[in-house]
């Protein structure tokens, strides 16, 4: 099969969909891989490294997209890439379509088969292709929060970890999944006073034992949020519903009650964000203020650490990409229910129920798509 790896065009997105190691594995299985010239530079991979593993290097992005039966990316296609979508193409990438109506319409209009990393889901409920980036974003969230809390960034001018005679910052983490647990771990390691809120008691029990009760954990409710958000110096939102828009948990009223210079980091912004005032920002212009608080809502946080992120992403996606290349996406999905849940659009129709619900539209049943002709 022909697999294409274009250069990412999103603002300050330095990740690339495959490492040279990933290329080597696909080539060893008899597949052809084309990588756009310079695609890996931001992640510290040279064209020569890709070429040495059997990749063809192509300068022109239209030619790269045209080469691929499967195009593998990191982020959703932006408007400048929409003309490259087509009906005989399988696109494998992060999509977050529930919060991206323009991209959704482009995929439907082109008839593209779009497979989203973030909705590939195991029977246990785990999201194996989202997990590595959740770990990265969860690790970054307290770091960017700590920097944003500095006075010259508009924050309260305080350290996350207190010093002798001075209280530590209060960090509230919404969601006890991979990103939330990781964020709590890093924030606690920085000396902050950390609380996790979640509605899932199993996740709270995991937090209790993992952190040996050094991180507070509470069952989430509107009352708990209304009480704890105004007390927090840093709020980190990590709530996720696979394929669907994120619920708005932190209201305008709660933000109004927060301390001047408090910071809110919305890790869930790719799915619409879990704060009422959240709107997508970029690494070039990452923050905005609301009621004297500072919001950080960068949609591709892991893009700031592309070398780590690209290795982690390839580790997770390569087994699935190899199956798609070996068997074709339809047969690969027949053999793997987790991968089948990644199918978001096909032949001009929405397939994933949560994506369809986000737009108030009907969806085509996955069984119908995968049934033999």
Which has the closest alpha carbon to 246: 225, 219, 276, 224?
Answer: 276
- As given in the structure block, the two tokens for residue 284 are 């070039």
**Residue found under tokens 């608080």:** 293
- Given the residues 96, 216, 277, 346, the one annotated as active site: 96
Please, how many CA atoms are within 13 Å of residue 101, restricted to the half-sphere of its CB?
5
- Given the residues 233, 266, 270, 336, the one annotated as active site: 270
Please, how many CA atoms are within 13 Å of residue 363, restricted to the half-sphere of its CB?
17
Active site residue 270: yes
Which has the closest alpha carbon to 314: 92, 19, 35, 40?
Answer: 19
Task: Report how far apart, in Å, the C-alpha atoms of 218 and of each of 177, 193, 199, 205, 228 are.
Answer: 14, 14, 8, 10, 10
Number of Cβ atoms within 10 Å of the Cβ of 331: 13
**Residue found under tokens 């950080």:** 296
Q: At what angle do helices 131-148 and 306-327 cross, to 10 degrees?
A: 160
Query: Using an 8 Å Cβ cutoff, are 195 and 228 in contact?
Result: yes
The torsion defined by the Cα of 327, 373, 91 and 286, in degrees rounded to 10, comes to -120
Active site residue 352: no
Q: Phi first, then psi: give them for residue 227, nearest 5 degrees.
A: -85, -40
- As given in the structure block, the two tokens for residue 158 are 């305080």
Catalytic center residues = 96, 270
């Amino acid at each position: 099969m022909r697999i294409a790896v274009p250069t990412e065009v999103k603002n300050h997105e330095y990740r690339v969909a495959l490492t040279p190691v990933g290329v080597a594995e696909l080539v060893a299985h008899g597949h052809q891989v084309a990588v756009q010239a310079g695609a890996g530079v931001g992640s510290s991979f040279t064209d020569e490294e890709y070429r040495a593993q059997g990749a063809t290097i192509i300068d022109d992005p239209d030619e790269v997209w045209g080469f691929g039966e499967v195009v593998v990316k990191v982020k959703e296609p932006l408007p400048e890439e929409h003309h490259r979508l087509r009906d005989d193409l399988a696109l494998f990438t992060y999509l977050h379509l529930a919060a991206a109506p323009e991209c959704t319409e482009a995929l439907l209009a082109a008839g593209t088969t779009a497979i989203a990393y973030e909705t590939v889901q195991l029977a246990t409920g785990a999201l194996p292709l989202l997990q590595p980036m959740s770990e990265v974003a969860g690790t970054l969230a307290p770091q960017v929060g700590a920097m944003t809390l500095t006075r010259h960034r508009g924050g309260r001018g305080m350290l996350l970890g207190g010093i002798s005679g001075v209280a530590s910052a209060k960090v509230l983490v919404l969601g006890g999944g991979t990103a939330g647990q990781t964020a709590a771990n890093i924030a606690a390691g920085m000396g902050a006073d950390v609380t996790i809120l979640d509605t899932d008691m199993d996740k709270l029990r995991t937090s209790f034992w993992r952190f040996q009760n050094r991180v507070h954990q509470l069952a989430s409710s509107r009352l708990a949020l209304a009480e704890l958000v105004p007390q927090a110096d840093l709020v980190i939102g990590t709530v996720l519903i696979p394929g669907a828009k994120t619920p708005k948990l932190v209201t305008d009223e709660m933000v109004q009650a927060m301390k001047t210079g408090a910071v809110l980091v919305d890790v869930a912004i790719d799915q619409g964000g879990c704060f009422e005032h959240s709107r997508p920002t970029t690494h070039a212009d990452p923050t905005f203020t609301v009621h004297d608080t500072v919001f950080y809502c960068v949609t591709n946080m892991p893009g700031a650490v592309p070398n780590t992120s690209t290795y982690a992403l390839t580790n997770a996606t390569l087994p699935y990409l190899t199956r798609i290349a070996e068997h074709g996406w339809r047969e690969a999905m027949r053999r793997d229910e987790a991968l089948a849940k990644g199918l978001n659009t096909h032949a001009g129709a929405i397939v994933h129920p949560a994506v369809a619900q986000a737009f108030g539209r009907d969806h085509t049943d996955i069984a119908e798509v995968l049934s033999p002709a």
